[in-house]
Structure 1
């Protein structure tokens, strides 16, 4: 039996109604789900906003070191360019140091002359020492020999004179011949001469000893001359070292492993002492400087743990802690402080500087001075160290 057009139309209408109701329920459920998700995200965002403090006024910092020369002069060589990574002790710039180098050579030559003079005096001292010692020993030996010979000569003289005296008495009685008497007289005279000769030898040996002692005194004079060379050499060494320092002061070297930021001169320019020449920094020693509002400073103290993000590295997070909190607002360091003489006053929230030490430290060169950063800290008390 066929169904009529009216019955088919009613069934289609009923089916369409049920389909529409299902679609409406699906939309309602979807909207409710979206609303719940949005509400959850909103609540989470609100909770995060109430429990965190974000400092947008933050930048990466580092020790920017300005290198300069201690002495004036002409620049002869620039060995680096901006952006170069340079090791500690590497040559950066060299100035004209020819005058100082010539002064160093002059003082070295004078020191060499003093050294040669010292060697000459020391050789002369050794020679005088050896000669005077030999002369003294020889004179001592001759003196001992002469003193030993004098008693024997004196005894011979006494014996010869006694024999002569006895012979003269015998000659008076005719018992001694004239020839015998003459021989005894010659023997007595010879004995007297030997005594005189022994005395002369003693005096000669004593004179030789005096000469040897005088030579020993000359050694004292030579020693004094050698000692006088010491202060002269030290004075020249000081002058030489000063000239060497003048040469070194005209050679600019890297004080640490770092990066060259700027070069303020070119070869051929003349610089004065203390004039800035090269700007460098150490990429391994970086931190983050931020300015915190005075209304939020209560959330920060020394040791507060923070999270740092940098615009140059999206998605990267760096951990750190507050290591320095300046106890004065930035307005106190202004060159032209506002005195407000008119009496009109606009209340402006002040900011206090703080510094964040990154722990662990990022790889050298990843963060560069001046990069914009963002510092986030907990505002609900978590991450704050205990008050001292």
Structure 2
């Protein structure tokens, strides 16, 4: 009886040491599923690697328009705020216009004076022309009378001298009139220049975009060429992707591109290759490498590729954002 009980007690231990068939089968199924998933995933990656060229050395680029004054002056008003969207022609900054208004008024006065001189010269030339016509007629009459011995030679000489003087006066009046016209044109040009400089005291946005890097405050004195604001164009963003030279064999303009922006994971944008640079990035560096000097080490170069978006997106893209570019080459 004791042996029977001992046998009954030991039986579960023996069964416990043996693996259950259903558990082993489950493990094999899970392993098979994972293996199948791995093979499918690896196969998809392999196929995709043969059809696509990818790089994460890519950034969004855009036109950056500097806002600079064209005349010196004191800033009296700044209407632009950081990160504000503006339209082309919107007023951003106003300079003190007082000095330029005075110059404009002085130019207007000079123009009025020049136009008055033109009117006077025109009147003189008309009077000189009338006098020339009258004395020319007197000369012809005197010549006829002298032929008939009605007047003396001295009287004919006097008539001749008078006609000659009238012709000289007419010519001089014409020269004065031309000089007055030239002065008037110069005064008109000076007035236009004064008005143009006055208009430049109002600084406007050169293009549609977002205000960035604002570096101007009221009361500040600015000079021509000084950058006050940078505007990043809103309607002309693109991607510059730096592909390895070994990736360019099958790459051509027009090929479709999938663009993934790091700032918006899970979002994919569509684009296409616009153009491929004619030089590597190193060639346009401040100090390009000179392989003819020193020890040469071959380094795989990268070539900038411009990619444009196929359509506009509602995502708030910004110049300089990192992206991943995948080009379908096959």
In structure 1, what is the Cα distance between the partners aligned to 2:134 and 2:304? 85
Q: Which runs of 5+ in 1 are unaligned?
A: 1-19, 152-197, 338-342, 383-388
Q: Which of 320, 323, 330 is the matching residue for 2:275?
A: 323
Structure 1 partner of 2:69: 69
The farther-off stretch of 43-52 and 123-132 is: 43-52
Structure 2 partner of 1:216: 167
* RMSD between aligned residues: 4.2
Structure 2 partner of 1:282: 233
Question: 2:268 is paired with a residue of what secondary structure?
Answer: coil
Structure 2 partner of 1:260: 211
Note if contact 2:103-2:194 (Cα within 8 Å) is conserved in structure 1: yes
- Listed one character per residue, the Cα deviations across residues 8-57 of structure 1 (whole Å, up to 9, x for unaligned) are xxxxxxxxxxxx99x88996997588457524532344324643443223
TM-score normalised according to structure 1 size = 0.62
Query: Aligned runs of 1:191-340 on 2, under 5 Å?
Result: 198-199=150-151, 207=158, 210-293=161-244, 297-298=247-248, 301=251, 303=253, 305=255, 306-313=257-264, 314-321=266-273, 323-325=275-277, 327-328=279-280, 333=285
In structure 2, what is the Cα distance between the partners aligned to 1:205 and 1:120? 33
Query: Aligned runs of 1:352-367 on 2, under 5 Å?
Result: 352=302, 354-363=304-313, 367=317
Question: Cα offset for 1:62?
Answer: 0.7
- Listed one character per residue, the Cα deviations across residues 243-287 of structure 1 (whole Å, up to 9, x for unaligned) are 445334443222223332232111111123322101112222111
Flag the structure with higher helix content: 1
Note if contact 2:243-2:304 (Cα within 8 Å) is conserved in structure 1: yes
CA 46–257 in structure 1, closer or farther in 2 if over 3 Å, else same: closer
Question: 1:357 is paired with a residue of what secondary structure?
Answer: strand
The farther-off stretch of 236-245 and 368-377 is: 236-245
Structure 2 partner of 1:38: 37
In structure 2, what is the Cα distance between the partners aligned to 1:250 and 1:225? 38
In structure 1, what is the Cα distance between the partners aligned to 2:136 and 2:248? 96
Question: Cα offset for 1:376?
Answer: 1.2
- Please state if 1:133 is matched with 2:84: no
In structure 2, what is the Cα distance between the partners aligned to 1:212 and 1:266? 72
Q: Which runs of 5+ in 2 are unaligned?
A: 1-19, 290-294
- Listed one character per residue, the Cα deviations across residues 290-343 of structure 1 (whole Å, up to 9, x for unaligned) are 34456x5455745273321224453333121162347445698488x9xxxxx9
In structure 2, what is the Cα distance between the partners aligned to 1:280 and 1:239? 33
TM-score normalised according to structure 2 size = 0.71
Note if contact 2:77-2:94 (Cα within 8 Å) is conserved in structure 1: yes
Query: Aligned runs of 1:114-129 on 2, under 5 Å?
Result: 114-129=114-129
CA 363–211 in structure 1, closer or farther in 2 if over 3 Å, else same: farther
Note if contact 1:55-1:290 (Cα within 8 Å) is conserved in structure 2: yes
Structure 2 partner of 1:167: none
Structure 2 partner of 1:92: 92
Note if contact 1:140-1:209 (Cα within 8 Å) is conserved in structure 2: no
Question: 1:105 is paired with a residue of what secondary structure?
Answer: helix
- Listed one character per residue, the Cα deviations across residues 160-196 of structure 1 (whole Å, up to 9, x for unaligned) are xxxxxxxxxxxxxxxxxxxxxxxxxxxxxxxxxxxxx
